[in-house]
Amino acid sequence: MSISPRAILFAVFLALPIPTLAADDAPAAWWADVTALANDGMEGRLTGSPGYDRAADYVISRLKAEGLRPAGVNGYLQPVALEQQLVDQTASHAELVAPDGMATALKVGDDMLITPGGGPRPAGIDAPLVFIGYGLHLPGQGHDDFAGQDLKGKIVVVLSGGPADISGAIKSNARFERNQALGKRGALGVISLTTPKQVEILWERQKLLVRQPGMYLADAKLRDTQQPFFTATFDPGQSELLFKGSGHSFAELCALADDSKSVPVFALPFRLKAGIAATREPLTSPNIVAKLEGGDPKLKSQYVAVSAHLDHLGIGAAVKGDTIYNGAMDDASGVATVLDIAHRLKTGPKPRRSILFLFFTAEEKGLLGSSYYARRPTVPKKSIVADLNFDMPLPLWPLKTVYAPGQ
């Protein structure tokens, strides 16, 4: 088994001599940053909101206090142009149409959720459905649910999970790139199903979240699909409807997926007909970028990035009486960790390579800020040799091991 140069760089970076703060100072400073970023005055740090901008001002003030140089396009800021989309679930409608013309109405916002992120939704759609198993296009790993399928003009239905012999990171990345791959093959949309055992966010909670606005990059060239693309999720309790008359059942497919077994691919005997009520508006929200120059004359032209996302979910429907989604762990904890690392590196021995400190916007809206930075970095792209990202580090137990994948 070979170890990639990038993985080695991660290990080297983690082994940097970082001075230790006084025992009481480090946790106190870290917690002070978490508290400041997650307080109610930040209003949940929704991308593009005044609360996010206040949080950005706080982070910049901390970077200035550490004496770190700005590395954005406007001081510490790298503005990201976005488009915000709100899907009115109540005003939208959908039905499953059988070959004989019989229609089964679906309650949008309850049975099916039309998701608002990733790109503009079409005003309407009428297309046949095809089930393509896990929906994973991974020919390099010996698994391709797209193989031999004519997807043009169709809506694909996919199920959570995947083969056990493929790493979770690779499967996750394939799902992230799925819409782009489907769009290139002429598919019009995707419906994502989750087995009851694999549900991470309860359906009632998902019904609240989908009523918040979604976002995508304003530059159409940077989106997953160039044309409007339909995306939706289905209530696990209602997903059996999609497979009626197909010769398969949702329960049967879930049992296979939960055991990471092979899942069949087949056409479904329905067309989905839907009308989507959506409104859109432009907005801009910044990434924040700072740097610390390295001490080695040859290596300081290379950058190791240390990153976290600053945004969270903002204000929404009340959960236990509280409408502000503060995001202390997701990801004020990660931002505070990056600030703590910045302090330690600034006050300790200078690292050999230069360090980029990155705070991304719109992570909750589909990794948009980080995706934008990866495509339009504020330093030469080839000079970035590694990234160490912090998302929801949970300080609930002693840190004894670090897993640093690289490619």
Mean pLDDT of 378-396: 89
pLDDT tens readout for residues 180-204: 999 999 999 999 999 999 998 899 9
pTM of the model: 0.81
Mean pLDDT of 11-38: 66
Buried b (16+ CB within 10 A) or exposed e, 237-261: eebebbbeebebebeebbebbeeee
CA nearest 308: which of 294, 323, 283, 290?
290
User: Count of H helices and E strands in the chain?
Assistant: 9, 19
- In the CATH hierarchy, which fold is given to the domain comprising 89-276? Glucose Oxidase; domain 1 (3.50.30)
Mean pLDDT of 49-56: 97
Contact 144, 170 (CB under 8 A): no
Confidence of residue 394 (pLDDT cuts 50, 70, 90): low
Q: Which helix (H) or strand (E) holds 266?
A: strand 266-275
pLDDT exceeds 80 at position 7: no
Mean pLDDT of 273-280: 97
Average pLDDT of the chain? Answer: 90
| Low-confidence winner among 17-26, 289-298, 320-329, 370-379 (lowest mean pLDDT) | 17-26
Q: What are the boundaries of each domain within the chain?
A: 12-82+281-389, 89-276
pLDDT exceeds 90 at position 401: no
Residue 133 is predicted with a pLDDT of: 95
Q: Please tell me if the domain spanning 12-82+281-389 has the same topology as the one spanning 89-276.
A: no
- Distance CA(345)–CA(388), nearest Å, equals 14
- Distance CA(43)–CA(179), nearest Å, equals 31
List, as one string, the DSSP characters of 374-400. HHS-SS-GGGEEEEEE-S---TTS---
Mean pLDDT of 45-69: 97
Which class would CATH give 12-82+281-389? alpha beta
